[in-house]
Every structure is written in structure tokens, then in C-alpha cells.
């Protein structure tokens, strides 16, 4: 009888684990489908817009050093982390330009992003991290200021495309000068490389006077040999 009870117990445990696996899979399927749907939607958004008025966000471009998506931890080890933007290397002090006309909705300088600006352009939101300068407050209003670079920007300020909004720095968690540039559309992350590629293609076809681009800049190839080794940003 003991052997029979043991077999029954093993059989029952197996059925329980099988049922648990099925329930878990059913629970996860909608989330997986949602992730796929969001990814497909944002890919279409990135390539389906007109980018003729958009501006490349960095002067003195050197390389793309870390792409969008999951990567091994920049601080070492075997952990994986989600990188929510595109890292663009440039000499420290190089000017950063606003990608798309919009309103400054946030300035900050107290997290891993370092001194940063967030600008909203319709459904788009673009973030610029690791900038020179700091955030100050006057009369209850917050503003970003880079005195050496001659830049001062207030929350709520309207910023045209192509205007200088700061300089490449090393604030926040980073060991090398670069701009971490992040994009969201309808509060969903978008791969900035896809937007840049569509932007370059449209601008080069639309006007012969478009800025001349190097092959490395226009194809958005990640150069791992120049990795910044930044942490999370």
C-alpha cells in the first residue's frame, strides 16, 4: 500500500506541476503578445513619419557606442539590463541640439541620467542625458543652466528643432563623454537608431543641401571598440 500511495502522490504532484505550467503560460501569453504588438507598432511609427525638419542631436559625432535593447551589464558581470536609448559619443563639451520642436517638460540632475532634459513633441518624448551643467531653481521654477556653454533652459520653455540645448558631459553614471538619447512614442520606448535611419534617408532624398553624413553616422552602426561602459544609461 505504501508503494501505491507513493505512486499516487508522485502522479498527483506531476499533474499539479503540469497544471501550474499551463496556467503560467496562459497568463504570460497576453503579455508576450502585447510586447510584440507594441514593438511592431513603434517600428511602424519610427519609419512612418516625416523627419524633414528633425535635427541630428550631437555635434562632432564620433561613434554610436551602445544600442537600444538588452545588453550585458555595463558595470561587469553576467547580468543583463535594458538600455532604453542610443549612446552617441562626442568630445566633452560638444553641443547637443534639439531633435524635434517641442516643450521642455522636465530638467533634472540627481539620478543615473545625470544632468538631463526631457522634451515633449506631440506624442513623442525625447530625453538627453549626461549633459554639462546643473539644475537650479528661481521663483519656484526649475531651469537647466550650463554657464560655460552659455545655455539656460526653463521647464515649460518652447524649443525649436536644431537649437543648441546643452553640451556633452559626464554627469550621472558614466565613465566617458557621450549623449544618452532616449525616445518614447505614446509612452512606449522606440529604438532611436530606426528613427535616425529613416530621418537620414528622407532628408538626403528631399534636399541636396542636407548635411553631409559619414557612412558610420548614417547607417547607425554600434562601435563596440569605443564602448563607454556606462551604467544603465
How does pLDDT run across 87-136, given as a tens digit for each residue?
999 999 999 999 999 999 999 998 999 999 999 999 999 999 999 999 99
Query: Is there a contact between 123 and 183 (Cβ–Cβ < 8 Å)?
Result: no
Considering only CA atoms, which of 93, 97, 99 is closest in space to residue 120?
Answer: 99
| Residue 40 grid cell | 511592431
H or E stretch at 20: helix 2-48
Q: Average pLDDT of the chain?
A: 79
Query: Is there a contact between 149 and 133 (Cβ–Cβ < 8 Å)?
Result: yes
| Residue 208 grid cell | 541636396
* pLDDT computed for residue 77 by the predictor: 61
Q: Does residue 14 surpass a pLDDT of 90?
A: no
What are the DSSP E strand ranges found in 69-140? 69-72, 80-83, 85-89, 95-97, 102-108, 115-121, 124-131, 134-138
| Residue 181 grid cell | 538619447
* pLDDT computed for residue 173 by the predictor: 85
* pLDDT computed for residue 20 by the predictor: 39
Q: Does residue 205 surpass a pLDDT of 60?
A: yes
How does pLDDT run across 25-35, given as a tens digit for each residue?
334 344 334 33
Confidence at 180, pLDDT banded by 50, 70, 90? very high
CA 147 to CA 135: how far, in whole Å?
11
Q: Is the dihedral of CA 135, 141, 147, 151 positive or negative?
A: positive
Query: Is there a contact between 85 and 183 (Cβ–Cβ < 8 Å)?
Result: yes
**How would you label 28-38 residue by residue, b for 16+ Cβ within 10 Å and e otherwise?**
eeeeeeeeeee
**pLDDT mean over 163-179:** 94
CA 196 to CA 125: how far, in whole Å?
15
CA 214 to CA 208: how far, in whole Å?
15
| Residue 79 grid cell | 547580468
Return the SS3 of 33.
Answer: helix
* pLDDT computed for residue 35 by the predictor: 37
Confidence at 38, pLDDT banded by 50, 70, 90? very low
* pLDDT computed for residue 93 by the predictor: 98
Confidence at 217, pLDDT banded by 50, 70, 90? confident
How does pLDDT run across 122-163, given as a tens digit for each residue?
999 999 999 999 999 999 999 999 999 999 999 999 999 999
* pLDDT computed for residue 211 by the predictor: 63
| Residue 31 grid cell | 503579455
Amino acid at each position: 500500500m505504501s508503494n501505491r500511495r507513493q505512486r499516487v502522490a508522485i502522479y498527483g504532484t506531476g499533474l499539479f506541476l503540469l497544471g501550474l505550467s499551463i496556467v503560467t503560460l496562459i497568463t504570460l501569453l497576453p503579455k508576450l503578445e502585447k510586447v510584440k504588438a507594441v514593438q511592431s507598432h513603434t517600428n511602424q511609427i519610427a519609419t512612418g513619419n516625416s523627419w524633414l525638419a528633425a535635427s541630428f542631436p550631437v555635434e562632432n559625432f564620433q561613434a554610436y557606442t551602445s544600442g537600444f535593447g538588452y545588453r550585458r551589464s555595463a558595470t561587469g558581470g553576467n547580468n543583463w539590463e535594458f538600455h532604453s536609448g542610443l549612446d552617441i559619443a562626442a568630445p566633452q563639451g560638444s553641443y547637443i541640439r534639439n531633435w524635434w520642436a517641442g516643450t521642455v517638460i522636465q530638467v533634472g540632475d540627481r539620478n543615473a541620467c545625470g544632468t538631463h532634459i526631457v522634451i515633449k513633441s506631440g506624442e513623442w518624448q525625447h530625453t538627453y542625458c549626461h549633459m554639462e551643467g546643473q539644475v537650479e531653481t528661481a521663483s519656484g521654477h526649475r531651469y537647466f543652466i550650463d554657464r560655460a556653454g552659455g545655455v539656460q533652459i526653463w521647464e515649460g520653455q518652447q524649443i525649436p528643432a536644431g537649437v543648441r540645448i546643452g553640451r556633452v558631459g559626464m554627469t550621472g553614471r558614466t565613465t566617458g563623454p557621450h549623449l544618452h538619447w532616449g525616445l518614447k512614442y505614446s509612452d512606449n520606448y522606440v529604438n532611436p537608431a530606426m528613427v535616425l535611419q529613416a530621418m537620414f534617408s528622407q532628408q538626403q532624398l528631399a534636399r541636396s543641401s542636407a548635411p553631409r553624413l559619414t557612412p558610420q553616422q548614417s547607417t547607425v552602426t554600434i562601435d563596440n571598440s569605443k564602448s563607454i561602459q556606462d551604467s544603465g544609461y
